[in-house]
Chains A and B, each alone.
Chain A
Amino acid sequence: MNVEVTPLPGIGVRKDFATRTGRRIGVVTQRDGHIELIVSKSDDPDACAASIPLTADEAGALANLLGAPQLVAQLTEEHRDLPGISTRQLPIKPSGPFDGRTLGDTAMRTRTGVSVVAVARAGQVHPSPTPDFTLTGGDLLVAVGTGEGLEAAAKILKYG
């Protein structure tokens, strides 16, 4: 992917790339840290159809939404030959029971047999998290296990 980095003197930096359909998509990062998501117009590729200001949290959440399914799809593909095993993303709700607690506190493997293989946070993937990994609201856990186990894991994360 060829990401174009263009300095905007006095304002910040624009980073964008052209998608396969010809639309330009990217972000403008302003000096003061403000982030804007930009999407070009289809009839005028120089202009933006939308430029949406995002907070750091919102940008992280968006990055998770875009990044985590890919990871799950990849893992599902790898487990295809093992029937009965599937992969799911499990969200940590802000101010939910595990916001600010460690992965070990969930006792996920002991209670459900499900393994958390990665945590997606703010667009970054933290692979193989250890039990002392501290979770925060907005994290997406990528969990591998049986269908039943995953159901139970989702309930635990929701209700404690």
Chain B
Amino acid sequence: MNHTALSLIELGAVFFVLGVLGRLAGKIGLSPIPLYLLGGLCFGEGGLIPLTDIGGFTHLAGEIGVVLLLLLLGLEYSAAELFTGLRRSWTAGLLDIVLNAAPGAAVALLLGWGPVGAMVMAGVTYISSSGIVAKVLGDLGRLGNRETPVVLSILVFEDLAMALYLPILTAVLGGVSLLGGLEAVGISLLVITVVLVVALKFGRYVSAAVDSPDREVFLLKVLGAALLVAGLASAMQVSAAVGAFLLGIAISGSTAENATRILEPLRDLFAAVFFVVFGLNTNPASIPPVLGWAVVLAVVTTLTKVATGWWAARRQGIGKMGRARAGAALVARGEFSIVIAGLAVAAGAVTGELAALATAYVLLMAILGPTAARVVEPIARALQRKSVTKTAPVEAN
């Protein structure tokens, strides 16, 4: 069998298995991300069926997956929405950073991974999965709930924080000095501000540049623009993913809607490859030693996210049950935690253990998140009842 035939067979088998896994995930009401990661673990080095012939393709496809993940995230928001979200939720957003980045950083320091490892793990535990959260809110019929705007504006804040964090991380992973790091922060702040202002004032010109009534032309133009911007951003050390995110924000209106519709299948395909590649590069044997820490992080960061949501919802005058729902909705971590860990692993600046911990953590949180959102109401009600029965005799006196 020649090389091409073998590669096609392997790639076909991978996609088919992912399709089956995705269907399974849909049936039990889970995000497919943890199953894709598990799939990658099975296929990869030290896994059940090592695949070796498709490395070149999957590597590039995984990179495209990250670009598309961030591009579509940017397309979801208009610049105006980002500004209102930022204004409404910045206090909650700051609390979110403090509470949820700290546990990851602390564990990384305890394990002796140094400041770079701490920065990576801080990002991994900080960022909620806006994909999983939005899907769960829709599935559970909570779009009309009063706490939902609170949850969404925290997600907006997190995504903007990502746009700032990723360039800094890229610079740090590249091993720059303190001065170089500050320069990277300066450049990324400047670029983000400029893009937001341009998007707000001249978004329609950017949209017009990529828009086309012809589906095929539109697809090629928008994908080409995304990869061009991502490549240029990467060359400027600002992180390819952030370039794509900012382009997504600049494209607005009906162009953004059409682009989302046309790119969604591509995003799903390439992002699936990205998760598999991440799993592929993680040796399954390295997971059991860090599993304990993953569980600790899962428990702690579940509580910190619930606290964040609770506090943010209370500030908006939402009742107790709504506060609990807002907190539980934010628990899920997913695609962006893997994007961050993937960047770090690709740069070779962190140990393989970090990839293992990130994988185990996201596996837990991507399952725990939707589950938490589902069970929070019965649990909160049971707790309420218990506290009522406890206080009842006191009232009787």
Provide the bound-state CA to CA distance between A103 and B233, in Å: 62
Contact (A11, B144) CB under 8 Å given A32-B257, A47-B321: no
Provide the bound-state CA to CA distance between A28 and B148, in Å: 12
B147 touches A48 (CB 8 A): no
B152 touches A10 (CB 8 A): yes
Partner of A9, one of B138, B153, B319, B322: B153
Query: Does B141 sit within 8 A of A, measured CB to CB?
Result: yes
Query: Does A44 sit within 8 A of B, measured CB to CB?
Result: yes
Contact (A10, B156) CB under 8 Å given A28-B143, A28-B144, A51-B143: yes
Interface size class of B (residues with CB under 8 A): 20 to 34
Q: Which residue of A lies closest to B153 (CB)?
A: A9
Give the chain A neighbours of B156 by CB distance below 8 A.
Answer: 9-10
B153 touches A31 (CB 8 A): no
Partner of B322, one of A14, A30, A32, A44: A44
Query: Does B366 sit within 8 A of A, measured CB to CB?
Result: no
Query: Does B142 sit within 8 A of A, measured CB to CB?
Result: yes
Provide the bound-state CA to CA distance between A125 and B340, in Å: 55
Contact (A6, B149) CB under 8 Å given A36-B144, A48-B142, A51-B143: yes
Interface centre among B130, B134, B145, B148 (most CB of A within 10 A): B145
Provide the bound-state CA to CA distance between A142 and B130, in Å: 48
Q: Which residue of B lies closest to A26 (CB)?
A: B144
B269 → chain A, closest Cβ, in Å? 21
B85 touches A9 (CB 8 A): yes
Give the chain B neighbours of A26 by CB distance below 8 A.
Answer: 144
B77 touches A46 (CB 8 A): no
Interface size on A, residues (CB 8 A): 25
B interface, over-half SS? helix
Query: Does A100 sit within 8 A of B, measured CB to CB?
Result: no
A8 touches B152 (CB 8 A): yes
Provide the bound-state CA to CA distance between A32 and B145, in Å: 19
Considering only residues 1-16 of chain A, those with a C-beta below 8 Å from chain B are: 6-12, 14, 16
Considering only residues 307-324 of chain B, those with a C-beta below 8 Å from chain A are: 318-319, 321-322
Provide the bound-state CA to CA distance between A26 and B144, in Å: 8
Query: Does B84 sit within 8 A of A, measured CB to CB?
Result: yes
B248 → chain A, closest Cβ, in Å? 11
Partner of A8, one of B141, B149, B325: B149
A44 touches B319 (CB 8 A): yes
Query: Does A38 sit within 8 A of B, measured CB to CB?
Result: yes
B77 touches A10 (CB 8 A): yes
A32 → chain B, closest Cβ, in Å? 7
Give the chain B neighbours of A12 by CB distance below 8 A.
Answer: 143
B257 touches A48 (CB 8 A): no
5 A-B pairs (CB sep. < 8 Å): A7-B149, A8-B152, A10-B155, A31-B257, A48-B144
Apart from A9-B82, A14-B144, A36-B143, what are 7 other A-B pairs with CB-CB below 8 Å? A9-B156, A10-B130, A11-B152, A32-B257, A47-B146, A48-B141, A51-B143
A residues engaging B (CB < 8 A)?
6-12, 14, 16, 24, 26, 28, 30-32, 36, 38, 40, 44-48, 50-51
